Amino acid sequence: MKSTLLLGISPCPNDTFIYQNLIEGTVKTPCSVSAEFADVQTLNEKVLDGALDMAKVSAAVFPLVKDRYRLLKSGGAMGYGCGPLLLSSAGENFSDEFPVYLPGKQTTAAALFNFWIKKKFPSVGGAGVSYMRFDELYRELCGKKIKQGVTIHEHRFTWQRDGLHLISDLGAFWEQELKVPIPLGCTVIKKDLGEELANEMDLCVQKSLQLAWERKEPVNEFIRKLAQIDDDAVILQHIKMFVNGYSMNMGDEGEKALQVLTTFLHSESLSAP
């Protein structure tokens, strides 16, 4: 059995809330765990390169790595009312005169934006898209250096305070159109590590999450020091929105949502020039 498992997660509160007890060793694991923290697009790229043993990645990247990685039932981010937001620094209307900035090519946010624009503005298609790390994207929006961008993570809770304008709640649009939860993220583990280890790590993630839920104070120093924002109230909002029953076990409904997303992504690849 592997002696040390390299785990990649984001520094965002939902991930650190779920995985803290596993990373710190409160939960006994079959092998030691070494954590690497990175933004979700970087994690996606590392998994595409096979550089991580286990990782929390965008649900949209799973179809690209499913031959090498196995899907875990726990540790993901799915649900209702928790999707990315298309925001503007200039007004509430979408404009095809300006590029839309996305937080990574393989992110679920990018997939949901593509779904929205093809439904609402079929003549526009996927034109005018650029990519930027999620935290930089938000800063550029707030500084009015870019006009339109899709925001994720904690910034879902701060855009009104920061004077931005909502063009569309992309998650709500997905829900209304497809009647399934929003499959934002999922946890994967290398297939060559074996099914037994995968099952054991699934249980370890569930135990880590259960201990976090039982804690008197949800936001602690481990979560606080890694978060992109220093407001405990926003951090707690983030945890409550993105950590739920699907994080413990995605179940049949979560698997269906992943399949719906995979079908859309497949149709996208077929229609690409």
Catalytic residue numbers read 153
In order of 60, 99, 104, 168, the CA distances from 270 in angstroms are: 16, 24, 21, 26
**How many Å is the maximal CA-CA distance in the chain?**
55
Tokens found for residue 106: 């393989």
In order of 30, 107, 186, the CA distances from 265 in angstroms are: 35, 11, 16
With CA atoms as reference, report the closest residue to 1 among 48, 65, 53: 53
Rounded to a whole number, what is the distance in angstroms from the first to the last CA of the chain?
Answer: 44
Give the position of tokens 């006994």: 28
Cα–Cα distance for residue pair 251/63, rounded to 1 Å? 18
Tokens found for residue 17: 């809330």
SS3 252: helix
